[in-house]
């Protein structure tokens, strides 16, 4: 191969190499360009994924809040702030469309807390949340709501003028000069297929992407769900705290509210009053005209209470024909004025068929009549029943417990037991006893004979051999014995009440055991020993104003040597009043007939009592008791 041939061969080789290098370079460039495009697409997809994740977290956050017990306003405020903070919108707000006698209007019920709204509120002076916003039927707001579709408004100026047309030009210019929003996205909100309002989002972007539209639609659906859940919760709450017949608050709500009022009253040293109302002759109305008219009478009283109550008062139906009104910050004088106004308003209402109705009313004031809530409510009850006993259709102010006679306490206690406790007494007798107690008229001294008669009749239900008049004799004997120990008057009054109540627990024991003619078994005897606890804890404990009577009743079977029941107290651990009841009860048991023995004479009974000196009772108690009895039988 000559020189030129080799040269041509070398040139060809170089050319081939150059072509190969160029071809590879082209391939490399294409790969590089494709990698750049791929990296860009990955970045875009990553950004989209981040946005989707943020949106998902926001929706999850909303769902968690909707399943909490937070109020709707609080949930919505958090929602609008989440949208702004996590997804980069400039501002968001929720508008509610409402209607009153002046027509439709809008109000802000939630708005994001940011510099945008703060700046606007500073300029317009009256904050957006405090304004009645205009609702124009030809505005974008109305169009979005009526057509149930999302509308994007780019003319921020027009949107603002539509809702605040009275904003002066200077302030309007200041608001618009600092506005960075390029568009308002208006999303309609519906709850249970009824128009609720609008969810408005202020965006720095003029265009609305399809993915963004989809997200805002889902977001709005979550807001709608939160509104619906809150509305349902409010309905359930209203049903739980209101009376179905009258629309007043129910007993449960009243009791919860008044407990809070006690705390406030004590903290501020400010009284509050309770007015108790009892519709007169409801049973007669039901019997003569039917329950529909009875309900009409009850609803009429409720209407009077609503129309006479202040916005802060709490009128409630406590059950049946009884109502209470809580008057925060009102003393007894103010409460008496309010009560009399209510009484007159009820009296002048004339109903179809029924005619006029009346009510008996009682008034008591916290910190004035009592500083105990239970006691206050009992005093209100007592005053109300006093109005009923005195002829109905009148108002009675409560007496403080210190001024209430022991007979009044006893009468009200018996009424409470017979009315509110499920004592096993035949209905006819139960009604008769209640009528006797209710019929007692207010006198300078309450007629004790009726009280003693009721106690005798109750005792006879579980002890047929009980002698009429024995209760009175027990009270007189116990009082005389207490005076020999120089007990103060209030302790003697407690003893008198306790004498009437100490065996009340026997009402709950089986008659076959109480009236058994043969000796009791150990099991039956242990059953009998339960009656002081039944009386003290099951029957008397719920009655607030006899709490200081309970220890006397509870320990009236304790023996001096500690062998008694229910707590095996001994000697001076036993209240002296309980010791007196024990010896008086034993004496009358010995001098009355029993299924298993004949009655003893007074002297024979004293002999038996003396045998138990140092065991059942102290020597001092026996000595005073024997002296007292011997003096009476001489």
**Residue 469 belongs to some domain of the structure:** yes
Same domain, yes or no: 430 and 392: no
Q: What residues make up the domain containing 323? A: 242-404
Could you tell me the sign of the dihedral formed by the alpha carbons of 76, 81, 87, 90, in that order? positive
d(CA 25, CA 31): 10
**Residue 327 belongs to some domain of the structure:** yes
The tens digit of pLDDT for each residue in 279-288 reads 999 989 999 9
Same domain, yes or no: 256 and 343: yes
Collapsing DSSP to helix, strand or coil, 468 comes out as: coil
**Residue 234 belongs to some domain of the structure:** yes
pLDDT at 433: 82
Same domain, yes or no: 431 and 554: yes
Q: What is the CATH number of the domain that holds 171?
A: 3.30.450.40
Same domain, yes or no: 433 and 552: yes
Structural contact between residues 442 and 386, judged by C-beta atoms closer than 8 angstroms = yes
Packing angle of the helix pair 210-241, 251-268 (nearest 10 deg)? 90
pLDDT at 198: 93
Number of neighbours of residue 478 by Cβ within 10 angstroms = 21
Same domain, yes or no: 334 and 375: yes
Of 178, 207, 327, which Cα lies nearest the Cα of 261? 327
d(CA 426, CA 361): 30
d(CA 505, CA 507): 5
Structural contact between residues 395 and 565, judged by C-beta atoms closer than 8 angstroms = no
Structural contact between residues 409 and 398, judged by C-beta atoms closer than 8 angstroms = no
d(CA 246, CA 525): 51
Same domain, yes or no: 478 and 626: yes
Give φ, ψ of 321 to 5 degrees.
-100, 15
Written as six digits, the tokens of 263 are 């705390």
| One-letter-per-residue 3-state SS of 218-250 | HHHHHHHHHHHHHHHHHHHHHHHHECCCCCCEE
In 502-575, which residue ranges form alpha helices assigned H by DSSP?
A: 511-514, 522-528, 531-533, 550-554
Q: What is the CATH number of the domain that holds 308?
A: 3.30.70.270
Mark which of 404, 439, 474 sits at the end of a domain.
404
d(CA 401, CA 345): 30
Mark which of 404, 430, 451 sits at the end of a domain.
404
Could you tell me the sign of the dihedral formed by the alpha carbons of 465, 467, 471, 477, in that order? negative
Q: Count of domains in the chain?
A: 4
Mark which of 203, 223, 238 sits at the end of a domain.
238
Determine if the peptide bond prior to 566 is cis (ω within 30°): yes
d(CA 33, CA 42): 14
**Residue 308 belongs to some domain of the structure:** yes
d(CA 424, CA 430): 9
Number of neighbours of residue 92 by Cβ within 10 angstroms = 27
d(CA 358, CA 394): 9
Written as six digits, the tokens of 86 are 């996590």
Q: Which residues of the chain have pLDDT under 70?
A: 1-36, 38-72, 83-88, 234-239, 401-404, 420-422, 440-447, 505-519, 524, 527-529, 531-532, 534-537, 595-596, 631-634
**Residue 24 belongs to some domain of the structure:** yes
pLDDT at 441: 47
Same domain, yes or no: 215 and 267: no
Q: What is the CATH number of the domain that holds 587?
A: 1.10.3210.10
Same domain, yes or no: 212 and 179: yes
DSSP string, 286-344: HHHH-HHHHHHHHHHHHHHHHHH--TT-EEEEEETTEEEEEEET--HHHHHHHHHHHHH
Of 218, 212, 178, 186, which Cα lies nearest the Cα of 93? 186
Of 473, 471, 478, which Cα lies nearest the Cα of 503? 471
The tens digit of pLDDT for each residue in 463-516 reads 777 788 888 888 989 988 988 887 887 888 899 988 988 877 666 666 666 666
**Residue 99 belongs to some domain of the structure:** yes
Enter the DSSP assignment of 186: E
Written as six digits, the tokens of 427 are 């209905």
Same domain, yes or no: 185 and 307: no
Written as six digits, the tokens of 361 are 């009313």
**Residue 416 belongs to some domain of the structure:** no
Same domain, yes or no: 193 and 301: no
**Residue 56 belongs to some domain of the structure:** no
Same domain, yes or no: 453 and 569: yes
Same domain, yes or no: 610 and 481: yes
Number of neighbours of residue 428 by Cβ within 10 angstroms = 8
């Amino acid at each position: 191969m000559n020189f030129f041939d080799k040269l041509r061969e070398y040139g060809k080789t170089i050319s081939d190499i150059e072509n190969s290098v160029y071809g590879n370079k082209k391939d490399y460039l294409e790969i590089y360009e494709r990698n750049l495009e791929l990296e860009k697409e990955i970045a875009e997809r990553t950004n989209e994924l981040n946005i989707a994740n943020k949106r998902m977290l926001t929706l999850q956050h909303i769902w968690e809040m909707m399943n909490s017990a937070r109020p709707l306003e609080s949930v919505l405020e958090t929602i609008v702030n989440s949208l702004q903070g996590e997804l980069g919108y400039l501002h968001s707000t929720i508008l509610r469309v409402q209607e009153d006698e002046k027509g439709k209007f809008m109000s802000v019920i939630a708005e994001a807390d940011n510099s945008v709204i703060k700046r606007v509120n500073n300029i317009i002076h009256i904050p957006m949340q405090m304004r009645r916003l205009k609702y124009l039927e030809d505005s974008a707001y109305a169009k979005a709501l009526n057509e149930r579709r999302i509308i994007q408004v780019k003319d921020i100026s027009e949107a603002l003028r539509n809702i605040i047309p009275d904003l002066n030009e200077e302030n309007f210019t200041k608001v618009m000069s600092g506005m960075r929003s390029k568009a308002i996205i208006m999303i309609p909100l519906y709850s249970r297929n009824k128009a609720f309002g609008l969810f408005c989002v202020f965006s720095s972007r003029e265009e609305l992407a399809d993915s963004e539209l989809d997200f805002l639609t889902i977001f709005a659906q979550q807001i709608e769900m939160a509104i619906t859940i809150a509305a349902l919760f409010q309905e359930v709450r209203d049903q739980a705290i209101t009376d179905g017949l009258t629309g007043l608050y129910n007993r449960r709500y009243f009791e919860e509210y008044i407990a809070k009022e006690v705390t406030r009253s004590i903290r501020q040293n400010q009284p509050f009053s309770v007015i108790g109302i009892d519709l007169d002759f409801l049973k007669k109305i039901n019997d003569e005209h039917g329950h529909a008219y009875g309900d009409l009478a009850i609803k009429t009283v409720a209407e009077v209470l609503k129309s006479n109550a202040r916005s802060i008062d709490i009128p409630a139906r406590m059950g049946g024909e009884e109502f209470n009104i809580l008057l925060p910050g009102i003393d007894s004088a103010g409460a008496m004025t309010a009560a009399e106004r209510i009484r007159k308003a009820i009296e002048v209402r004339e109903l179809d068929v029924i005619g006029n109705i009346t009510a008996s009313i009682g008034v008591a004031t916290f910190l004035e009549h009592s500083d105990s809530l239970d006691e206050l409510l009992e005093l209100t009850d007592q005053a109300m029943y006093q109005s009923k006993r005195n002829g109905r259709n009148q108002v009675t102010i409560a007496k403080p417990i210190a001024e209430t006679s022991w007979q009044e306490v006893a009468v009200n206690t018996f009424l409470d037991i017979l009315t509110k406790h499920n004592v096993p007494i035949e209905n006819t007798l139960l009604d008769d006893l209640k009528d006797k107690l209710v019929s007692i008229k207010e006198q300078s001294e309450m007629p004790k004979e009726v009280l003693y008669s009721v106690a005798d009749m109750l005792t006879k239900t579980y002890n047929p051999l009980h002698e009429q008049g024995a209760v009175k004799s027990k009270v007189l004997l116990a009082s005389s014995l207490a005076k020999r120990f120089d007990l103060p008057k209030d302790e003697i009054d407690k003893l008198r009440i306790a004498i009437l109540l100490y065996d009340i627990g026997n009402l709950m024991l089986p008659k076959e055991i109480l009236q058994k003619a043969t000796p009791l078994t150990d099991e039956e005897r242990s059953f009998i020993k339960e009656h002081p606890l039944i009386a003290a804890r099951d029957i008397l404990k719920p009655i607030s104003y006899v709490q200081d009577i309970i220890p006397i009743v509870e320990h009236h079977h304790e023996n001096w040597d500690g062998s008694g029941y229910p707590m095996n107290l001994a000697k001076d651990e036993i209240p002296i009043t309980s010791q007196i009841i024990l010896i008086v009860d034993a004496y009358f048991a010995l001098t009355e007939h029993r299924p298993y023995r004949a009655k003893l004479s007074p002297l024979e009974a004293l002999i038996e009592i003396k045998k138990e000196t140092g065991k059942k009772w102290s020597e001092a108690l026996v000595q005073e008791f024997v002296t007292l009895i011997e003096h009476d039988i001489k």
